[in-house]
Structure 1
Amino acid sequence: MKHLEANFDGLVGPTHNYAGLSFGNVASLSNARAVSSPRSAARQGLEKMKALHDMGMVQGVLAPQERPDVFALRRLGFTGTDGEVLAAAARTAPAIFQAVCSASSMWTANAATVSPGADTADGKVHFTPANLTNKYHRSLEPATSGRILQAMFANPRYFAHHLHLPDNEHFGDEGAANHTRLCNEYGHAGIELFTFGRYAFDSSKPAPTRYPARQTFEASAAIARLHGLSEENTIFIQQNPGVIDQGVFHNDVIAVGNRNVLFYHEQAFLDTEAKKREIQRKFGDQPVHFIEVKDSEVSVADAVQTYLFNTQLISLPDGTMVIIAPTECQENERVSAYLADLVTRDTPIRQVHYFDVKQSMRNGGGPACLRLRVALTDEELAAVNPAVILDEVLFSRLNQWVDSNYRDELSVDDLRDPQLLEESRTALDELTQILKLGSVYKFQL
């Protein structure tokens, strides 16, 4: 039986915009209210998906959320027609209005935590949508994310879906952005690393003071239980509060793993040496390659600016391990020099491929933010909704769909236009037919 790791990238939505809503995300805040290009953003994302497909990877597409979220505004007391609701919210509660317009669902790494069947007690692939409670604009996502994931991975013989964790900061969960998996082969039992920022029920433990720790230990432990993981294939590791306070809002901004490689900055974790020993012990006889980037090589500031660690670390079908990096890494002399040297060292990482994802980078997310990793057997892959798996036909169809439905430029002020809402709903309704998702959006239910 063959085993592989598929990437499911979030398709950028038709109302992609820069609202600058994410306190603690330096890139997001620095580009607040800039004019965006939804069409360019969607095309950039599709080009990255197609490039990975052409490398031989299994590449899937995850549909965006509907924004503006008029239903959220109605829940908050705004009434009238959709146009009246948008106008009233934009006029009287502009901060709330911007929140319900957020483009954040494009970062699919925050959509859910996924455990492959090789790790779980029942042998099924388990999905838990992230509740994203730390930010109001992101807390609007989990219900729709859950419906989309269930439409993609529908066969109960192979896939198990859980409700997102309680909507409370004690169980703050940010999904796969704080979760990685190490293994010898994708089909073998692996080690699942859950990285958290603080203990919700013990204020005496270390925690950041400037920016919020979005993931709690309690949330990570709950997901491990829900997914039926054992103590021997689970490790909880605390993120260094100091790097959270430097703008490292998710672990995937400071570390990334794949198969037998953990690539991380020396300031990424607390108790790093002890956790390395635990990882190696649980991993087994084969060595884990711990690639630690020293601050003297790349500073935390440069790592955040370029998203050196928010890169995709993938294994191609021939086994070659490569880094998929944003062009910002190539443009930074120190980071570019580090990566050029890295591929010459005695590690499994052999190549670096650079991609232009500037529309995403300006909103605070790099290549790794854009994808959800799902390790699958060939039988499980055959059970995935085939309409969401990228091929030449779907790539062409989605580009045509984007060109027909997306605006070339969009300002934050455009989001109050009821015509944009209608354009978006028309586009999303068509998309659910292309991807054969059924009714997943509230306006369709």
Structure 2
Amino acid sequence: MALVEINFDGIIGPSHNYAGLSPGNIASANNAGAVSQPRAAALQGIEKMRANLRLGLAQGFFMPLDRPNKAWLAGLATDMTTADPHIRAAAFSASAMWAANAATVSPAPDTTDGRCHLSAANLLTMAHRSHEWTGTLVQLKLAFADERHFTVHGPVPPPFGDEGAANFMRLCPSHGEAGLEIFVYGKSGGPFPARQHIEASKAVARAHRLNPERTLFIQQSEVAIAAGAFHNDVVAVANERVLFTHEQAFEAPEVAYEAVKARMPEAEIVIVPAERVSLADAIQSYLFNAQLVTLPDGGGMALILPTEAQANLNVWGWLEEHVAGDGPIRRLVPVDVRQSMANGGGPACLRLRVVADPTTVDPRFIADETKLDRMADVIAEHWPESIAPDQLADPALVEQVQKARLALLDACGLGELR
């Protein structure tokens, strides 16, 4: 069985809007109340996946969830007509597009039962995300239904917050070999909540049947959280043997590095110093919220990062020096995901990494050029061109959003998700 890394991107849903629902997410707060462009956003996401395919990478996708979430509103004894504005916005949110928060994934080589384990994240810290897991779990169980190869778990129960793979990293000699799984948790972050609880991380590790000697729990820096690094993947990313991190990503960085090296001596830790790239620069550019990937056929590693990183002189200057100096990152690939970035999610937020044999995954969730063309056609025809904040209560917009999603499900043969 050939195990490869498959990046599953969340299709940006037709209800994509800027409601500013995420405290601690600077981009989300700064753009609250702006007019969004759902059609452009989703097409940017399609182009990102298309670019990955052309790099020779395996690519999958997840469908948008049903929005507004009327069942969640009903549980609050309200609906889109009568709900308070912040509740209405939470029900309408398209935040499930950030598939890095869909689940935590432990590949088969790391687990004692030899199956890939996926645990849906509860996302309970933020109201607009706390009701995602029900729809996400249905989709995970459909995509990874082959119980010979996968085990899909429900979310960690309250009160322990779990934000999925955005606070998780894996180091390994190669994707198909046993690795070191690193769970990054928070304690506090100044005025902002720490979203990943260590209790949740430990529960996921136990559920996934991981070897304790190949599992680490590392605290995220309180300074980083206070600066706007609401998830670890805003300040650090790993791929195979490489940990690419900001100097201020972890609370006790030297202790963290020693623990990594003790368990995986061949790990290469690439540290971006704060004197070259400040936390503010890293967070504004989403330097680390990038896809660090291994190119096929011995092409080395590439960093797929937002165009905002290219526009930041400090960030781009450091990256160019690294590539010129024969570091492990050999190629820089800027991509345009401006609509997602404006809501606080870069290329890494948009994808969930799953190491598996693609033939064991429901093929309807695996991308190719033909499928992406078909999805792009549906999006161009059905997605709203723009959404202003005062439109969320408009029944006509609700109807358009729901019809658009159904058109995409039908085009992809995923009627079970209707």
Class of the TM-score when normalised by the shorter of the 2 chains? over 0.9
Note if contact 1:151-1:438 (Cα within 8 Å) is conserved in structure 2: no
Distance 1:197 1:182 in 2: 20
Shift of residue 438, structure 1, vs aligned partner = 4.0
State which drifts further: 147-156 or 428-437.
428-437
Note if contact 1:108-1:369 (Cα within 8 Å) is conserved in structure 2: yes
Q: Deviations over 1:371-424 (max 9, x none)?
A: 000111xxx311211122111210110011101211111112222122222222
Distance 1:271 1:416 in 2: 47
Counterpart pick for 2:286 among 307, 316, 331 = 307
Q: How does 1:116-127 map to 2 (within 5 A)?
A: 116-127=107-118
Matched AA of 1:240: S
Counterpart pick for 1:292 among 263, 271, 275 = 271
Shift of residue 223, structure 1, vs aligned partner = 0.3
Distance 1:154 1:427 in 2: 26
Aligned to 1:202: none
Q: How does 1:356-371 map to 2 (within 5 A)?
A: 356-371=336-351
Counterpart pick for 1:88 among 79, 82, 88 = 82
Shift of residue 151, structure 1, vs aligned partner = 1.1
The size of the alignment, in residue pairs, is 417
Note if contact 1:23-1:211 (Cα within 8 Å) is conserved in structure 2: yes
State which drifts further: 380-389 or 299-308.
380-389
Matched, 1:246 2:227: yes
| Structure 2: runs of 5+ lacking an equivalent | none
Please state whether the residue corresponding to 2:194 is helix, strand or coil.
coil
Shift of residue 209, structure 1, vs aligned partner = 2.9
Please state whether the residue corresponding to 2:296 is helix, strand or coil.
coil
Aligned to 2:264: 283
Percent of counterpart pairs with the same letter?
47
Counterpart pick for 1:161 among 121, 131, 152 = 152
Note if contact 2:90-2:128 (Cα within 8 Å) is conserved in structure 1: yes
Q: Deviations over 1:53-109 (max 9, x none)?
A: 01100111111112222222211112xxxxxx32222xxx11111111112111110
Q: How does 1:26-425 map to 2 (within 5 A)?
A: 26-78=26-78, 85-89=79-83, 93-168=84-159, 171-198=160-187, 207-284=188-265, 287-319=266-298, 320-376=300-356, 380-425=357-402
State which drifts further: 312-321 or 291-300.
312-321
Matched AA of 1:141: E
Distance 2:285 2:42 in 1: 21
Matched AA of 2:379: V
Distance 1:76 1:270 in 2: 38
Matched AA of 2:320: A
Shift of residue 270, structure 1, vs aligned partner = 1.9
Please state whether the residue corresponding to 1:245 is helix, strand or coil.
helix
Alignment RMSD: 1.2
Note if contact 1:16-1:38 (Cα within 8 Å) is conserved in structure 2: yes
Shift of residue 208, structure 1, vs aligned partner = 2.6
Shift of residue 437, structure 1, vs aligned partner = 3.3
Distance 1:240 1:44 in 2: 32
| Structure 1: runs of 5+ lacking an equivalent | 79-84, 199-206
Please state whether the residue corresponding to 1:52 is helix, strand or coil.
helix
Distance 1:271 1:432 in 2: 46
